Amino acid sequence: MNILFFHLAWAAYLLATLHYLLFAAAKKRIILTVAHSFTLFGFLLHTASLGLRAYESGHAPWVTLFESLSFFGWCIALFYFWSERQSGQRAIGVFILPLIAVLTSGALLLPRALSELPSSLRSPWLWVHGSLSFLGHAALAIVFCTGLMYLLLERQVKGKHFKSLYYFLPPLHSLDDLGYRCLALGFTLLTIGIITGAIWAEQAWGAYWSWDPKETCSLITWVIYAFLLHARLLVGWRGRRAAIVAIIGFLAVLINFLGVNLLPWSRHGYLSYL
Count Cα neighbours of 226 within 13 Å in the Cβ-side half-sphere: 8
In this prediction, residue 78 carries a pLDDT of 97
Q: Is the dihedral of CA 8, 79, 54, 65 positive or negative?
A: positive
Residue 139 has pLDDT above 70, yes or no: yes
Query: 162: pLDDT confidence band, cut at 50, 70 and 90?
Result: low
Residue 201 has pLDDT above 90, yes or no: no
Q: Mind listing the pLDDT tens digit for each residue in 51-110?
A: 999 999 888 998 888 999 999 999 999 999 999 888 888 888 999 999 999 999 999 998
Determine phi and psi for 59, rounding to 5 degrees. Answer: -145, 175
In this prediction, residue 269 carries a pLDDT of 58
CB count in 10 Å sphere of residue 88: 8
Query: 272: pLDDT confidence band, cut at 50, 70 and 90?
Result: very low
In this prediction, residue 274 carries a pLDDT of 36
Range name among 112-121, 197-206, 259-268 with the lowest pLDDT average: 259-268
Range name among 117-121, 189-193, 245-249 with the lowest pLDDT average: 117-121
**26 alpha-carbon distance from chain centroid:** 28
- Residue 238's region, left for phi above 0, alpha for psi from -120 to 50, else beta, is beta
Whether 213 contacts 219, CB under 8 Å: no
Task: Determine the average pLDDT of the residues in 189-213.
Answer: 84
CA distance 77 to 80: 5
The residue among 70, 71, 76, 145 whose CA lies nearest residue 104 is 70
In this prediction, residue 54 carries a pLDDT of 93
Work out the angle between the directed axes of helices 213-230 and 172-205 (0-180°, nearest 10): 150
In this prediction, residue 268 carries a pLDDT of 61
Query: 5: pLDDT confidence band, cut at 50, 70 and 90?
Result: very high
- Higher pLDDT, residue 273 or 264: 264
The residue among 53, 75, 38, 56 whose CA lies nearest residue 6 is 53
Tell me the three state secondary structure of residue 95. Answer: helix
Residue 142's identity, in one-letter code, is I
